[in-house]
Amino acid sequence: MKKLTISIVNYNTGDYLIRCLESLEKAKNELDFDVFVVDNNSSDNSMKKAEEAYPNFGYIKNLENLGFGRAHNLVLEKAETPYILTLNPDCEVPAGVLSYMFGFMEKNPDVGLSTCKIEKADGTLDIASHRGFPTPKASFLHLFLKDDSLYHLTDRDMTRPHEIDSAVGAFMFIRNSVLKKIGYFDEDYFLYAEDIDLCFRIKEAGQKIMYLPDVKIVHAKGVSSGIKKHSRNTSTANAKTRNLALDYFYKTMIIFYKKHYAKKYPFFFNWAVYFAINTKWFFARRKQLV
């Protein structure tokens, strides 16, 4: 029986997708898994090249861009394996990572989701993979005082496995039984924050989310959106795509806050939060970066 279903959502990632699938092909002997690539109506030839190079993997072609969570849900809702991995197409998974993650989850039934160390192409940590929830306090400290101790949990010992609030959708190793209990990605989010929302619901269900730094992957990050500083020059995203991605980045902050925090605070406090988000949004649009 298959142990793992790997879901990849692709949107104009070019040869990054090929390198991602190549790394998975090399890992086939360490764990029995299926791979499904869901394409959000890409305009490049990434899917064609992938199908030709790796016909043994599954492919789903959408006629429109469904967004991150909704596209993943096409795979997640049908998966019957004990575990599911959401993986970005601009990631490469070295040998040993999948078997390590599987072994850890098998030994720790109280863990609903785990992630490994995720490095960007320059070798630095993708800090979004090691997050606290964006509470008003954590967000204020992060945005205005440059204190990341709550927002990105920077006071933790990054050399040892430990519990975190939220991983990043680029690499989330998820227990399928938990998904069947709490539901899948919330499709109110088109892009960004759906991973934080899922982690929030997993922890509400009493399951842990773990960060495991003993294994790592490489994540180019931002290839499809073009709004990340470190990958802007390698992204093929056009101006329209960048504008949409930037708007989604900030819209999802408001959606998440309304879903999980707004009811806990008075109107004037919520107004201040929305004002702060919109102010950051305004200046981000001028820079075209987040």
Distance CA 143, CA 135 (A): 12
Q: Which fold has domain 4-223?
A: Spore Coat Polysaccharide Biosynthesis Protein SpsA; Chain A (3.90.550)
Q: Is 233 a residue whose pLDDT tops 70?
A: no
Q: Residue 229: its pLDDT value, please?
A: 57
Q: Is 91 a residue whose pLDDT tops 60?
A: yes
The DSSP code sequence of 20-58 is: HHHHHHHTTTTS-EEEEEEE---SSSHHHHHHHH-TTSE
Mean pLDDT of 31-48: 95
Of 14-23, 97-106, 219-228, 267-276, the poorest mean pLDDT is in 219-228
Confidence of residue 232 (pLDDT cuts 50, 70, 90): low
Distance CA 277, CA 199 (A): 22
Q: Residue 235: its pLDDT value, please?
A: 56
Q: In this structure, what token pair is assigned to residue 200?
A: 């929030």
Domains of the chain, by residue range, sit at: 4-223
Helix then strand count (H, E) for the chain reads 9, 9
DSSP-H helix ranges across 77-146: 97-107, 136-144
Q: Residue 283: its pLDDT value, please?
A: 74
Q: Is 290 a residue whose pLDDT tops 60?
A: no
> Is the C-alpha dihedral spanning 243, 246, 248, 254 positive or negative?
negative
Q: Is 29 a residue whose pLDDT tops 60?
A: yes
pLDDT tens, 49-71?
999 999 999 999 999 999 999 99
Confidence of residue 74 (pLDDT cuts 50, 70, 90): very high
Of 26-40, 86-100, 223-237, the poorest mean pLDDT is in 223-237
Q: Residue 246: its pLDDT value, please?
A: 80
Integer-rounded Cα radius of gyration of the chain: 18
Mean pLDDT of 13-37: 95
Share of the chain above pLDDT 90, in %: 73
Please answer whether residues 201 and 181 qualify as being in contact, where contact means their C-beta atoms are separated by less than 8 angstroms: no
pLDDT tens, 237-285?
566 667 777 888 888 899 999 999 999 999 989 998 888 888 887 777 7
Confidence of residue 218 (pLDDT cuts 50, 70, 90): very high
Confidence of residue 234 (pLDDT cuts 50, 70, 90): low
Q: Residue 145: its pLDDT value, please?
A: 87
pLDDT tens, 112-140?
999 999 999 889 999 989 999 999 999 88
Tokens 């006629």 correspond to 63
Mean pLDDT of 178-194: 94
